[in-house]
Amino acid sequence: MEYIFPETGKDPRFVHLLQQLHKAFSVVKSGLSIWEEAIAKSQPHLKSVQNLSEQHHCCVQAQGLGEIVQRFPDVREKLLYKINKEIDNNMANLYKAVDVCKEVCDKVSKQCTRCQVVYNKTNEDLNMLTRRSPTCPSAVEMLEWLQDSEYLMMNQYLIRKHLLDKFSLSDRDQESVLYKQWSTEDTTLLQTIKGHLQYLEFFLEMKI
């Protein structure tokens, strides 16, 4: 399918903007899939950190180790070393997931900037920019949705990185925040961006 507004014909500036928006939302769509996959794969590592943290606290308090510690005084230190090493390994994988989210953010931000540059060259024709078709929102709406997507992704990346940076075995509250928020932070992001992409389904299938 070829996308064209009969009233605007082949205005090169407008066509260029549509092409850039088309490319940008294609990047958003593929990036969102990468984002979801990275977070899904991080869940076992988050669960491992939670379980290992509990083991760490029990070991520090010598719960269930009283008799063993009396017989083998260095057993607690050895267990803590092993547990801490496993926690570090799993935390490293959580950071990798956050790095993937950052890469997605960077690609979307780059597309957003390019669209804004093209938009600034055409923004004197508001009639053209606000015109909608039965199969496509207006260019103004699409640019706003793209900026929303960029903001939501960057915000969620920063929240997750903050959660990891603040994680501490000595602060049970910070532990709890990490476990509770890690899996729920994307709710608004996914609902919003997937909603935009649903409206853009026909547009993304068109040849511009």
Q: Is the pLDDT of residue 69 over 60?
A: no
Nearest residue to 23 (alpha-carbon basis) of 115, 147, 151: 115
pTM of the model: 0.86
Nearest residue to 125 (alpha-carbon basis) of 7, 37, 30: 7
Whether 37 contacts 190, CB under 8 Å: no
Average pLDDT over residues 101-119: 96
CA distance 105 to 111: 10
Range with lowest mean pLDDT among 77-81, 110-114, 200-204: 77-81
Q: Label residue 11 left, alpha or beta by phi (over 0 means left) and psi (-120 to 50 means alpha).
A: beta
Q: Is the pLDDT of residue 35 over 90?
A: yes
Whether 169 contacts 80, CB under 8 Å: no
Whether 206 contacts 6, CB under 8 Å: no
Task: State the amino acid at position 64 in one-letter form.
Answer: G
Range with lowest mean pLDDT among 30-44, 63-77, 141-155, 184-198: 63-77
When the pLDDT of each residue in the chain is averaged and rounded to a whole number, the result is 87
Domain boundaries, the chain: 32-205
Within 10 Å of residue 58's Cβ, how many Cβ atoms?
14
